[in-house]
Amino acid sequence: MKTVEKVGRTVEEALDLALKELKAKKEDVKVEVLDEGSRGLFGLLSRMARVRVTLRKKPEERAQEFLKGLFDILKITPEINLVYEEDGMCKIELKGKNMGIIIGKRGATLNALQFLTTLVANKESSEYKKIVLDVEGYRSKREKILKELALKVAKKVKETKKSIALEPMPPSERKIIHSTLQNDSRVKTHSEGEEPYRRVIISLKNPPVK
């Protein structure tokens, strides 16, 4: 973390100088007032105000530090790479041996870790960023599987004319199912149940009249 100390006729002036040097906003820094300064006889300035200003870490930096600390405890050493960072989101990819333990069954462990990492990354941060964790392209592979599943089940619904409920999925995976079938003229989707058992139901848009 970058830290600077500045002096000024007032605390506000010293802080302003520090913010200009750090090129930061007040909400992005931690401020310590080392000396409030004082005025002497007849209002003359006798002692300057002094502040120490520290630039807070960005969410993506906090996320990577958290993951490294967690993996050190678990005694695993994956590579932690920031793939991209843009407004409102950053993606971190993990690579290494025995990554199955991080993914878990159908990505359950990875999703839980992503949620926890997002919470830690945004603690005491003025800007919220969604953290997306991936393990060696797992999410793109899982997305492909879910799209194929959606199309396959939709075809079966059209053939049998009966609604089909998929297995419980997290919100991000249900969204893939909905998006894949949203332009299908013959089937529709909706979700039922409470988390974490909420599931997608695929059914005909115009079921036959009995």
Does 95 lie in the same domain as 41?
no
Q: What's the total number of domains in the chain?
A: 3
Phi then psi for 148, rounded to 5 degrees? -65, -40
Whether residue 99 is contained in a domain is answered as: yes
Largest Cα–Cα distance of the chain, in whole Å?
Answer: 97
β 29-35/187-192 pair status = unpaired
Mean pLDDT for 195-206 is 93
Does 127 lie in the same domain as 97?
yes
Average pLDDT along the chain: 89
Residue 142 — pLDDT band, cuts 50, 70, 90? very high
Mean pLDDT for 139-154 is 96
> What is the model's pLDDT at position 208?
64
> What is the model's pLDDT at position 44?
60
Q: What is the pLDDT of residues 3-23, one digit of tens each?
A: 999 988 888 888 899 989 988
Angle between helices 138-160 and 171-181 (to 10 degrees): 50
Q: What is the pLDDT of residues 34-53, one digit of tens each?
A: 988 877 655 565 688 899 99
Does 93 lie in the same domain as 66?
yes
> What is the model's pLDDT at position 196?
84
Whether residue 192 is contained in a domain is answered as: yes
Whether residue 210 is contained in a domain is answered as: no
CA 60 to CA 82: how far, in whole Å?
8
Does 49 lie in the same domain as 108?
no
Whether residue 106 is predicted with pLDDT greater than 90 in this model: the reply is no
Does 76 lie in the same domain as 7?
no
Of residues 134, 130, 132, 44, the one with CA closest to residue 96: 134
- Please state which of the ranges 92-96, 120-124, 157-161 shows the lowest mean pLDDT: 120-124
> What is the model's pLDDT at position 154?
97
> What is the model's pLDDT at position 45?
57
Whether residue 10 is contained in a domain is answered as: yes
Does 150 lie in the same domain as 116?
no
Residue 179 — pLDDT band, cuts 50, 70, 90? very high
CA 126 to CA 105: how far, in whole Å?
34
**Between these two residues, 128 and 157, which has the higher pLDDT value?**
157
Residue 28 — pLDDT band, cuts 50, 70, 90? confident
Does 127 lie in the same domain as 71?
yes
Whether residue 209 is contained in a domain is answered as: no
Does 132 lie in the same domain as 64?
yes
> 185, 165 in Cβ contact below 8 A?
no
Does 63 lie in the same domain as 49?
no
Task: Give the domain extent around 200.
Answer: 140-204
Does 102 lie in the same domain as 123?
yes
Q: What is the CATH number of the domain that holds 172?
A: 3.30.1370.50
Does 76 lie in the same domain as 47?
no
Q: Answer whether the bond into residue 171 is a cis peptide, omega within 30°.
A: no
